[in-house]
Amino acid sequence: MDILENTMINGRHFYFKLLTIKDKNTLLNGFKKLSSLSKLYRFHRPKGTLTEKETNYFLNIDNYNHLAIGAVEKKDDKEYGIGLIRYIREHNNFKNAEVGLTIIDDYQNRGFGTQLYKKLLVYAKKNGIKTLTNHVLNYNIFMIKLLEKFNSVSQKQHDGTTKIIVTI
């Protein structure tokens, strides 16, 4: 297992790791803990469960064109997924990748999203990516605030979203 960093917060053990196909259960259990609003923010439409096809796609990771980092809490020797970030490289523009980021509701606003983003930037840079594209609903102020911390430019779209491009 590729653990990137261990951290103790108020006596609780968290770590970040590169996700693999073996993290399927952690992914699915974490997804169940997302509120409808968080799922709407992430998928831009109401979302019930993840289909088998989507789950396989999300875990079809090669750590180059598709890379995902999970934030995990370790309790009683078990792993609980609390959030994840991924980039998927664009087919037609090798130097750009699209980002997806989700922190489960109980752990939001504690800095995990920002930390995951910073870690993703390091890997994206190493893998030759120059820009990261984020599609954000206009009223998702938390994601907009998070992305303002990076070297980003926003372009309002006609569909209620903002395309925010982070230059690495």
Ligand X SMILES: CC(C)(COP(=O)(O)OP(=O)(O)OC[C@H]1O[C@@H](n2cnc3c(N)ncnc32)[C@H](O)[C@@H]1OP(=O)(O)O)[C@@H](O)C(=O)NCCC(=O)NCCS
Per CB under 6 A, residues contacting ligand X are: 38, 41-42, 101-103, 108-114, 134, 136, 140, 142-143, 145-146
List, in sequence order, every residue forming a beta bridge with 31; answer none if it has no partner.
none
Task: Kindly report the backbone phi and psi dihedral angles of residue 56, in degrees, each rounded to the nearest multiple of 5, phi listed first.
Answer: -65, -40
Which residue, 24 or 33, has its beta carbon nearer to ligand X?
Answer: 33
One-letter amino acid at 86 equals R
Which residue, 42 or 86, has its beta carbon nearer to ligand X?
Answer: 42
Q: Which residue is nearest to ligand X (CB)?
A: 113
State the Cα–Cα distance between residues 25 and 23, nearest whole angstrom: 6
CB-based contact 84:68 (threshold 8 Å): yes
3-class secondary structure, 97 = strand
Which residue, 20 or 108, has its beta carbon nearer to ligand X?
Answer: 108
Least CB distance from residue 160 to ligand X, whole Å?
13
Least CB distance from residue 110 to ligand X, whole Å?
5
Least CB distance from residue 140 to ligand X, whole Å?
5
Which residue, 77 or 106, has its beta carbon nearer to ligand X?
Answer: 106
CB-based contact 137:44 (threshold 8 Å): yes
Least CB distance from residue 164 to ligand X, whole Å?
8
Closest by CA position to 118, among listed 52, 54, 69: 69
